[in-house]
Amino acid sequence: MIFDMEINKEKLLYQTHQKFMETGFNSPESLDILDDLVVPDIMGFGTTIDERIFSVADLKELIKRQREQSKGLEIKWVANPVMRKVLTNENVAIFVDDVEIDVTIINDTIRIFLRYSSVVEYQSDKWVVVHFHGSKPENVKTDEDTWGIEDWKNKNAELEKLVKERTSELEKSLVHLKATQSQLVQQEKLASLGALTAGIAHEIKNPLNFVNNFSELSTELVDEFIQTTDETERQEIGSDLKINLQKINEHGKRADSIVKNMLQHSRRGSGEKQLTDINQLCEEYFNLAFHGKRATDAGFNCEMVKKLENNLPQINCVVQDISRVILNLINNAFDAVRERELEGKTPNYKPTVTLSTQQINNSISISIRDNGKGIPQHIQEKIFEPFFTTKPAGQGTGLGLSLSYDIVKAHGGEMKLETKEGEGTEFAITLPK
Ligand SMILES: Nc1ncnc2c1ncn2[C@@H]1O[C@H](COP(=O)(O)OP(=O)(O)O)[C@@H](O)[C@H]1O
Ligand SMILES: [Mg+2]
């Protein structure tokens, strides 16, 4: 006990003071309790310059305002006693506290300091507050914001606005980035298409020659057919013509399929899977890539070994995507052997690229092996990164492997790399059936 007074009276004094503070801060209790706690003409100062209280009604008004201002905020407070003093016959007491109030908005908490004094008087068997004075030793503006929270809320709103602005900026640049990315992917497609064009032209030339030759021949045959009167001869010419037309049709179809493939390669993928003969696809792209490389580098030559497994089951895949992977890997292999050849360090070097397919349990594997320059240890981790390239500007986009890796993953497959610097490289893809 601090005071030398009757125990019950002292208890009551503490209770009254405590209740008064609670009501003023964050208790949700009805304000009617104040009628019991304070004198009707209570005089007090609030925390702002214009807060002057001369009655219970004023006090209720002030607390009501504070409660409204702090709606939605989590408020915790603790009072640290600075002074307790009893005056005149133990019927008047002064309480002085430093009050710390923690106000939480969303996840941010601010701490407000209040100095709080009250004078409590013992009147007809109970303690009542006759005067109080709250002060905030910081800048607080008007009665619209008795605790200075409003200011802080504004700051919060400003921050939120800033975050929103930044977010929308970020969203914009993300959209831009995505657009750029798809542009680059398109560029890589076109680059590999460019390299293919020569190969394609070469491949189409063959069936076109057939079509031209056989149609010329057939025109002559038709002339003969019209002129002759011999029935047996007519029969013979007729069956020759039929064979020629079938050949023309066959080679026309072949040219058609090459063009179709080319178009498929450049088109944005429909993403639809279809049953595909991987051996045929590999062979086709092996040839196309070879002639493509030759067209841009007349000195290029390379032993092309094919080890394609007979009866390789067809697999379900997005053809233009898988063909892009195969093409990328073959082109990289050609580049690697060519570089090693041009280095000229290996006597009797014979550039060789081996393409093999194989069925392994429930998947098929496609391997592209070269005896090129190999990949040094320190860049092995980087080669799958977008834009990583060791090729001269304009020649490499650095997107081939990263695209290929994504495509293989999207098919539920794997891509493995084995390489030895100065000896060669093997990329093996497995694709589920
Ligand atoms: N078969 C290979 N042999 C040696 N290095 C290779 C091989 N394949 C890929 N690389 C290395 O990986 C890099 C990235 O390849 P890629 O993503 O296809 O981009 P790009 O071919 O445009 O450079 C190449 O620049 C090269 O350094
Ligand atoms: Mg490449």
Q: Which numbered atom of ligand 1 lies nearest the CA of 397?
A: 22
> Treating both helix axes as pointing N-terminal to C-terminal, what angle do 149-227 and 278-296 enclose, rounded to 10 degrees?
90
Question: From the CA of 421, which ligand is nearest?
Answer: 1
The span from the CA of 324 to the CA of 315, in Å, is 16
User: Which of 383, 403, 419 for a ligand 1 pocket mutation test, highest count of atoms within 8 Å of Cβ?
Assistant: 383
Task: Fill in the DSSP letter of residue 314.
Answer: P
Give residue 81's pLDDT.
93
pLDDT in tens, the chain (433 residues): 455 678 889 899 999 999 999 888 877 778 999 999 999 999 999 877 788 999 999 999 988 888 887 777 888 889 999 999 988 788 999 999 999 988 887 777 888 888 899 999 999 889 999 999 988 766 555 555 666 667 777 777 888 888 888 888 888 888 888 777 777 777 776 666 666 676 777 778 888 888 998 899 899 999 999 999 999 999 999 999 999 999 999 888 888 877 776 666 655 556 789 999 999 999 989 998 998 888 888 899 999 999 999 999 999 999 888 988 999 999 999 999 999 999 999 999 999 999 999 999 899 999 999 999 999 999 998 999 887 899 887 677 788 898 899 899 999 999 999 999 999 999 999 999 8
pLDDT at 139: 56
The SS3 of residue 274 is: strand
Residue 334 alpha carbon to ligand 2 centre in Å:
10
Task: Report how far ligand 1's centroid is from the alpha carbon of 389 (Å).
Answer: 6
In the block, tokens 């929103």 appear at 164
Which residues, including other chains, have CB under 8 Å from residue 348's CB and lie 6 or more apart? none
244 lines ligand 1 (CB under 6 A): no
Output the CA 400–ligand 2 centroid distance in Å: 4
Instruction: Note whether 354 and 305 are within 8 A (CB).
Output: yes
CB-ligand 1 contact for 424 (6 Å cutoff): no
Residue environment code for 171-191, b if the CB has 16+ CB neighbours within 10 A, otherwise e: eeeeeeeeeeeeebbeebbeb
| DSSP type of residue 398 | S
pLDDT at 309: 96
Please indicate whether residue 237, judged by its CB atom, sits closer than 6 Å to ligand 1: no
Separation of alpha carbons 96 and 85, rounded Å: 9
- Which residues lie across from 93 on neighbouring strands? 86, 120
Q: Are strands 352-360 and 363-370 parallel, antiparallel or unpaired?
A: antiparallel
